[in-house]
Structure 1
Amino acid sequence: MASGYGLNGGPSRCFPFWQELLSCYVINGAENDGEGKKKCVPAMEDYYECLHHRKEAARVQLLQAAYRQAEAKKLQENPPTAGQIRSLGLVGKEEETKKVLGS
């Protein structure tokens, strides 16, 4: 949260990353040639990832795409029969339906 406090009143989830970034700037900020700020780039990336989750979202998208490709390949290798498509797996399952519904 922008206030620095979490939902339950304690520190926010990204506060430790902010402290790490701030301490890096304090330690390395005295150098006038700009090298100090370059040393803090990993800490800044960690803080931004905590705030926005962009790297995590990209990883999830890659995993979802790989899963979709695997499912499509599985369907191509073992396509459903015409009977399975017509019945949707529901015809002839009256006993199981009664068990589930309890009647």
Structure 2
Amino acid sequence: MASGYGLNGGPSRCFPFWQDLLGCYVINGGEGDEGKKKCLPALEDYTECLHHTKEIVRAKRLQAAYRKAEASFPRENAPKAEEIRNLGLLGKEEESKKVLGSL
């Protein structure tokens, strides 16, 4: 990506954002710090395209909200601990013998 070319030989996925940022700097370059402040939205867009930081934060917040909602509403038909522990196999030796005996 440092070369400016994408995986398939064309321009990289962030190249249009880079062009916008460069155009903003060219237009507002003579104004000093005031010109740089005008280009902050373009810089944020380019940085987001490169690193996806805002997208990652949004996904983590969504996951946390989903886990919180899941924890606050337990499942209605959740199996009990003893059901999970025996999986329907313990205490059924006679049935197992019948099945194995018929083979």
Which residue of 2 is the match for residue 95 of structure 1? none
SS at match of 2:30: coil
Deviation at 1:74, TM superposition (A): 2.1
Which residue of 1 is the match for residue 73 of structure 2? 74
Which residue of 2 is the match for residue 54 of structure 1? 53
Q: Deviations over 1:35-67 (max 9, x none)?
A: 111100000000000000000000000001111
Where structure 1 has 5 or more consecutive residues not aligned to the other structure, the ranges are 92-103
Shift in alpha-carbon separation, 1:63–1:11, aligned structure 2, 3 A = same
Q: Which has the larger radius of gyration?
A: 2
CA RMSD of aligned residues (A): 2.0
Where structure 2 has 5 or more consecutive residues not aligned to the other structure, the ranges are 90-103
TM-score by length of 2: 0.75
Which residue of 1 is the match for residue 99 of structure 2? none
Runs of 4+ deviating beyond 4 Å: none
For 1:71 and 1:87, the matched residues in 2 are separated by 26
TM-score by length of 1: 0.75
Aligned length: 88
Deviation at 1:83, TM superposition (A): 5.4
